[in-house]
Amino acid sequence: MSWLPDDFVHPVHVPVPDSSLHLRPISEADTALDYPAVMGSRERLWEIFGPAWAWPSETMTYEEDRIDLLRHEKEIAAHQSFNYALFDEEETALLGCVYIDPPERAGADGEISWWVVDDLVGSAAERALDTLVPQWIAAEWPFRQPRYLGRDISWQDWLALPRVS
């Protein structure tokens, strides 16, 4: 049994209200924009995602990032999990990501997390994304019990939950 309905069609372009930003599924072709975004915010991202995902490592190379994005691209195509990149209007800068994953821990039917680059922390763009994500998930995704990691549950509390069997 899939974690999503067989007829589910994932969104391919999601405008972020009150901004010139949008989300779209990430692809291998985005490596040149993703790598500097991730590594430029690596220390903060490690504090958020490191304990759970061991990402992003201090020594992650461009090629490792490319391979990771190719994996994400394939997972999106297979509806196994989703990584949406946050872009400026012209897609000249990758400014963050939203992850929509099947539950790893009991008590949810989808697990959602997101981040923005260091330069956007505390900005109107970050607030707009923080507002958008739960509304978008409620409106366009088929979850009854989404869990917002690092938002409605701390990463530490999430790690303490039993794994989905």
To the nearest 10 degrees (0 to 180), the angle between helices 31-40 and 42-53 is: 90
The answer to whether position 8 is within a domain reads: no
**Is residue 61, in this structure, part of any structural domain at all?**
yes
Residue range 141-163, pLDDT digits in tens: 999 999 999 999 999 999 999 99
Average pLDDT, the chain: 96
Does the residue 162 lie in any domain?
no
- Could you tell me the residue range of the domain that residue 59 belongs to? 14-155
Asked if residue 125 is part of any domain, the answer here is yes
H or E element that contains 100 = strand 94-101
Average pLDDT over every residue of 30-54 = 96
At 32 the pLDDT is 98
**Residue 9 counted as domain residue:** no
pTM above 0.75, yes or no: yes
Q: Is residue 4 in a domain?
A: no
Residue 5 counted as domain residue: no
Task: Give the C-alpha distances (Å, rounded to integers) separating 90 from 21, 123, 151.
Answer: 9, 20, 29
Inform me whether the pLDDT recorded for 2 exceeds 90.
no
Rounded average pLDDT over 44-50: 95
Q: Is residue 32 part of a domain?
A: yes
Round to whole Å and give the CA distance between 74 and 29: 13
User: Angle, to 10 degrees, between the axis of helix 31-40 and the axis of helix 62-77?
Assistant: 120
**Confidence band for 47, pLDDT divided at 50, 70 and 90:** very high
pLDDT tens-digit series, residues 91-129: 999 999 999 999 999 999 999 999 999 999 999 999 999
The CATH number for 126's domain is 3.40.630.30
Report how many domains make up the chain: 1
- What's the burial of 158, exposed, middle or buried (CB within 10 Å: 0-12/13-18/19+)? buried
Asked whether the predicted pLDDT for residue 33 surpasses 80, the reply is: yes
80 and 71 Cβ atoms separated by less than 8 Å: no
Q: How many residues in total does the chain contain?
A: 165
Per-residue exposure over 91-115, b if at least 16 CB sit within 10 Å of its own CB, e if not? eeebbbbbbbbbbebeebbbbbbbb
User: Which tens digit of pLDDT belongs to each residue from 73-89?
Assistant: 999 999 999 999 999 99
